[in-house]
Amino acid sequence: MSEQPARVLVVEDEAAIADTVLYALRSEGHAAEHCALGRQALERLRGGGIDVVVLDVGLPDLGGFEVCRQLRTFSQVPVIFLTARNDEFDRVLGLELGADDYVGKPFSPRELVARVRARLRRPAQPAPAEAGWMRQGAFAIDREGRRVRYRDVLLDLTRYEYALLAALLQRPGAILSRAQLMERGWDHASDSADRTVDTHVKTLRAKLRAAGAEDDPIRTHRGVGYALDV
C-alpha cells in the first residue's frame, strides 16, 4: 500500500458539511480539495490527479448522479456518494451509475474517512503465476477455463455461482446490485432476480466455507447488493 497522501475531491454545496469532511480528511493526512458545484467538479476531475471523490447527491447545478454518469465517461476514479436521504432507491441507482460506495447523511466524519481509506486500498499486483490464472488475494481465477480457486482449493461451482464470483472479482470491494450481478451472469434477466441471486450467493458461501473461509468474504449490503473481500 502506498504511503503517499491521497488526493480526495469533496463535492458538496453545504459549507458546514464540506468543512467537516475536509477537516476530517486533512486530519488523516489526506490532501483534500473542495468543489461546491457539479460542473466545477467535473472540470477539476478532467484535470486528473484525484484518487477518490466524495460526491454529494443533492447539488444545486448538476445532481451528483449526473456528475457520476459524466465522470464515468472519462475516469474510473473511485466515487463515494453522500446521500441525504437514507433512500434505498438512491443508493441502488448510485451504484448502478458506477459509484463504489455510499454514506448516508447524517454520517460520522470518522466513518467517511474509513470508507475513503478502504477505497484507497488497491489489490496488490498479482505475481506472475500459472498461465491463465490470475491471483486476487485469497482467490485465483482462470477466466478462460471458468474456474476459481480459494486458498488454493479449486471450487466446484455451478455456472451461475461462477458467474457471480467472476463478476465480484472484477471489482473487489465494490458493491454490485443484484441487477448488475444478474446482468453479468445470466442470459435472460428474470422477474425474481433478487431471490435468484440470493440463492446462488447462499450456495456459493457454503462452498467458500468448505474451502476454508472463516470470515465470509461476500459482504451483504442490505437492500443494495453484494461486495467481495479478496
Contact 138, 150 (CB under 8 A): yes
Q: What is the C-alpha R_g of the chain?
A: 19
66 binds Ca ion (CB under 5 A): no
Shortest-Cβ-distance residue relative to Ca ion: 58
d(CA 103, CA 101): 7
CB of 112 to Ca ion, least distance (A): 15
| Closer Cβ to Ca ion, 51 or 56, answer by number | 56
CB of 55 to Ca ion, least distance (A): 10
**How far separated are the first and last CA of the chain, in Å rounded?**
15
Contact residue for Ca ion among 13, 33, 66, 183 (CB under 5 A)? 13
| Closer Cβ to Ca ion, 13 or 28, answer by number | 13
Contact residue for Ca ion among 7, 39, 58, 123 (CB under 5 A)? 58
| Closer Cβ to Ca ion, 58 or 109, answer by number | 58
CB of 70 to Ca ion, least distance (A): 18
d(CA 109, CA 105): 10
CB of 123 to Ca ion, least distance (A): 33
Contact 225, 175 (CB under 8 A): yes
**Torsion sign across C-alpha atoms 10, 173, 132, 180:** negative
* Count of positions on this chain that bind Ca ion (CB under 5 A): 3
How many CB atoms are located within 10 Å of the residue 18 CB?
A: 19
| Closer Cβ to Ca ion, 74 or 89, answer by number | 89
Contact residue for Ca ion among 56, 90, 100, 161 (CB under 5 A)? 56
The residue among 114, 209, 195 whose CA lies nearest residue 153 is 209
Residues near Ca ion (CB under 5 A): 13, 56, 58
